[in-house]
Each structure stands twice: as structure tokens, then as C-alpha cells.
Structure 1
Amino acid sequence: MNNRTRWLVLVLVLGVAGVVALWPRDKSPEPPTPTRPAQDVAALRAQAQLRPCVPGAPGGVDVTCLGDGTRTALALKGPMLINFWATWCQPCQQELPVLETYAKQPGAVPVVPVLVDSREADGLELLAKLGVRLPSVFDGADELRKRVKAPKPLPATYYVSADGLVRQITDPPYFQTPEQVEKAVR
């Protein structure tokens, strides 16, 4: 095979490859995200056995109580500890049982876990698995997180004082012992 024939074959192969690469293709739609039927969520609520949420207050942020699925207005009136968490967050999964243990201590500040960036059903499933029964809420619209200007990295914990001042707790980055929680809310 001479040089001219080699070049002709090369150009022909490149031309076919270019046509194949540029040929329009039908885009198949993304598969739908599976959703759980309502009865499954009800069963997960029953399994999680969360304590009831505090009744809503005027001027509060609209959230969903994970324990019963009702909408409630969470007021930023303290003292209170707000903990933003998600099901995919490994430090959150370690921190939630610590918050549960702290909350059972006499004189503990009320703790409100706030599920974000996850589905309600997945949050209920994780809380049941971890044995966390704290009254918890779901902030699907991120309204509460926006109100306190919480960052995207999780977990993010805030202390709300009796006079309504909100401060982020950054030391430690997430709680590993109930004593750390107690020290942070003093």
C-alpha cells in the first residue's frame, strides 16, 4: 500500500468517526426519582416514635414536624439548640445520638434537629435506625436555614438564647459527647 492510499484510508476513517460523533441522538428521559407512598411514610413515622413538636408560634418559620407530618411555625425563641443535618452526612449520623443523650439530661436546653437536603422518609428511617426520638422538623424549602444564615456544610448547630440572639456553634465542628453540648450552651 502506497502513501497516498494510507492517507486516503486515514481520512476516510476520520471522516466516518466524525460523522458518528456528530450524529444526533435521541436523549432518553431520566428515570423518575422513586417516591414512597404515603402509607410508607406513615409507617416510618410510627416506627421513628419521635416526640411531638412544639406548637407553632406567630412569626416562626414554616417547617414540617417529622413526627406527625403537620406544618408548624418554629419560632426562634430560646433557649434552644437547632441542629441542621442530612441523611448523607456522616458527622450528622454520629452527632444525632449525642444530642439525644444530652437532651435527656435534667436541665438540658431543648434540641431541635432540622432535616435538610434529604427526603422526609429517609430522615425518618435514619432517626429510627439511630434511636433518636427528639422532636424533629423538616425544612424542605430551606427557609429556617436562610433565616439563621446557616452554611451549606453540615452539620450546622445554632444556639438561640432567651433574648432571641442566634449564634453558630463552631467549636467543636460537631458534637461527640454530651459534655461538649452542655459546654456550648452555657
Structure 2
Amino acid sequence: MRGKLMLTAALMAGAALVGVALFAVMTAGQREPASAATEASSHSPVYTASVSGVDEAARELDLIRPSRPKQASDFTVALVSGDTLKLAGQRGKPVLINFWATWCGPCREEMPAMERLYLKHRERGFVLLAISVDSDVSLVKPFLQKHKLTFPVALDAKMDLANTYGVRALPASFLIDRNGYLAAVALGPRAWDHRAAHTLVEGLLAQ
């Protein structure tokens, strides 16, 4: 499975494709056609529409919105810092779960923007959890230190959580609202420090 993820990540980096993964709870045809700009990699998207709320922000970021209420699967993970994090324990806070790996180029590209998004909103309760599917924590810690990433990071070496969330390509991100329901899914990298991403988080914080 990890080999398939590596191949898919390489294909996404080479062809700048977004949305090649399948998310089990979504139905075909649910996504609106994406512009060429929003299908580019995270360092070069262009957004032109105004942002007036969560729905419009999600459209600007080309996120998949669930067609029906879907409770996010609960889990408890050990963080590389030594602490633990339980998803259900974050109720009352919006949570962004990002599946990634150190060998995934698009994952590495979007990490600095994710850090900026996290730093901007963490004091208001925003939680960002990056779940690495690397085979060993010794591969992850040096990367975090080198890039000065401060958000919580967990290791999913056996890919149990990745399989639970239907991850078929990296990066894959799942935005959970304050009540524990799936709010949106991003398949592929995003510009997480774009105004639309900040508006999205602010909207979920206000709900």
C-alpha cells in the first residue's frame, strides 16, 4: 500500500493533478469542475472569486463537501512529541487532519503554508494534526526540526488510520467541524495560507 501511495504522490507531483484519490463516503460527480488554477500545486494556485463564507471558501480551495452529515471516525494517536491526541477530545474545536509523508513532494511543499495557518488560528482553538505514513519516526523528527514545524504530528506506520479514512494518495486532508463532523476534504496539496483557507477556518471557529 505504501508503494502505491509513493507512486501516486510521484504522479501527482509530475503531472500536478489534484483529486486523483477516492474518498469512500463521497459519491461520483459530487465535485464541481475545478479550474486549471486550483488544480495546480500548492505554490501556484490562483483564486479570483470573493470569499463570503465557509461554502464559498471551500469552493475556492476546490474542497469536497460531504453530501450528508458524516461523523469523523474517532481515534487516539501517539504524537512524535510523546503526547497523545484523541479526536473526540477536540470537540468544540475545528480540526484539520493531514495525511502526508517525508518522501511526498507535494506534501513537503504545502507544509510551510499549513504551519502559517496553524500559527494564525491555534490560540482560538484551531487544531492541526499531521499524520505521517512514514515507516519510522526517525524519518519524521529531523524533517520537523529542519522546517521548524510546530503543529502536532503522529506516525501511522501501519497505515491503519489512512485506511480508515480511505486515503489513496498523498497528501490528503480532512477538515472536521467543532461537532466532530466531516466538513470538507482536500485531495492533493492546497495553499493553506491563502485568504480562503483562513476564511474557512474562521468560519468553522465561529459556528
Deviations 1:94-128 (A, max 9, x none): 11111111111144621111111332111111111
Residue 80 of structure 1 pairs with residue 85 of structure 2: no
Percent identity of the aligned residues?
A: 24
> Structure 1 stretches (4+) deviating beyond 6 angstroms?
none
- Give TM-score, length-normalised by structure 1: 0.57
Q: Output the CA distance in 2 between the equivalents of 1:181 and 1:128.
A: 25
Partner of residue 66, structure 1: 80
Instruction: Mark the CA change 1:74 to 1:64 in structure 2 (over 3 Å): closer, same or farther.
Output: same
**2:111 paired with 1:96:** yes
Alpha-carbon distance in structure 2 between the residues aligned to 1:109 and 1:181: 12
For the aligned residue pairs, the C-alpha RMSD in angstroms reads 2.4
Unaligned ranges ≥5, structure 2: 1-72
Q: Describe the SS at the equivalent of 1:125.
A: helix
User: Distance between the aligned counterparts of 1:184 and 1:169, measured in 2?
Assistant: 12
Count how many residue pairs are aligned between Structure 1 and Structure 2: 124
Q: TM-score, normalised by structure 2?
A: 0.52
- Pick one of 148, 152, 172 that aligns with 1:156: 172
For residues 48-98 of structure 1, what are the alpha-carbon distances to aligned partners after superposition, in whole Å with 9 as ceiling and x for unaligned? xxxxxxxxxxx9424221112x5x352254411101110100111111111
- Give ranges in structure 1 of 5+ residues lacking alignment: 1-58
Change (3 A) 1:176 1:108: farther
Q: Larger RCO: Structure 1 or Structure 2 (Cα < 8 Å, ≥ 6 residues apart)?
A: 2
- Structure 2 distance, partners of 1:165, 1:73, is 17
Q: Which of 136, 142, 148 is the aligned partner of 2:159? A: 142
